[in-house]
């Protein structure tokens, strides 16, 4: 094997290690950007709509999605280059973070729908109450 080949192999090994580090760093950054569990559980507001709006804000995954995308990008590149000896742990971590972000987004959408419905229900109840009072 020539010196050039050894250098190429060494460089490839270095690049593979850097790719793995990039994936791990982006996954850690994504986890760090996820909402604090207590912030979702302990929402304070003066009324139901306030609680829903506060909850919707707290369910925002924020920059976690961007970091996850970067982790997946580097992971995919490393996988296609066959640069990782064992990437099962990275794949599992990516799937776990992606699952949390998916759940957050789905919950945020449900809360948004409810936040739009609650004022309508209140208005309908107020109208029904006014009609009931006028009938008396």
pLDDT of the residue at 119: 94
Helix 64-80 × helix 3-33 angle, to 10°: 160
Give pLDDT, residue 2.
47
pLDDT tens-digit series, residues 32-67: 999 999 999 998 899 999 999 999 999 999 999 999
Tell me the per-residue pLDDT of 62-103, one tens digit each, with 9 for 90 and over.
Answer: 999 999 999 999 999 999 988 888 889 999 999 999 999 999
Tell me, what's the pLDDT at 130? 85
Asked whether the beta carbons of 105 and 64 are under 8 A apart, the reply is no
Please return the burial class of 51, using the count of CB atoms within 10 Å of its CB with bins 0-12, 13-18 and 19+: middle
d(CA 35, CA 4): 49
Spatial CB neighbours of 107, under 8 Å, sequence gap ≥ 6: 59
d(CA 27, CA 22): 8
Give kind and range of the element (H or E) at residue 46: none
């Amino acid at each position: 094997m020539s010196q050039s080949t050894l250098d190429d192999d060494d460089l490839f090994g270095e690049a593979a290690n850097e790719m793995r580090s990039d994936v791990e760093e982006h996954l850690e950054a994504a986890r760090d950007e996820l909402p604090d569990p207590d912030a979702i559980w302990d929402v304070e507001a003066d009324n139901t709509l306030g609680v829903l709006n506060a909850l919707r804000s707290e369910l925002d995954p924020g920059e976690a999605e961007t970091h996850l995308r970067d982790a997946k990008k580097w992971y995919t590149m490393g996988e296609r280059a066959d640069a990782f000896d064992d990437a099962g742990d990275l794949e599992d971590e990516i799937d776990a973070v992606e699952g949390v972000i998916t759940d957050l987004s789905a919950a945020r959408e449900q809360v948004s729908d409810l936040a739009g419905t609650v004022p309508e229900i209140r208005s309908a109840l107020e109208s029904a109450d006014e009609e009931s009072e006028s009938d008396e």
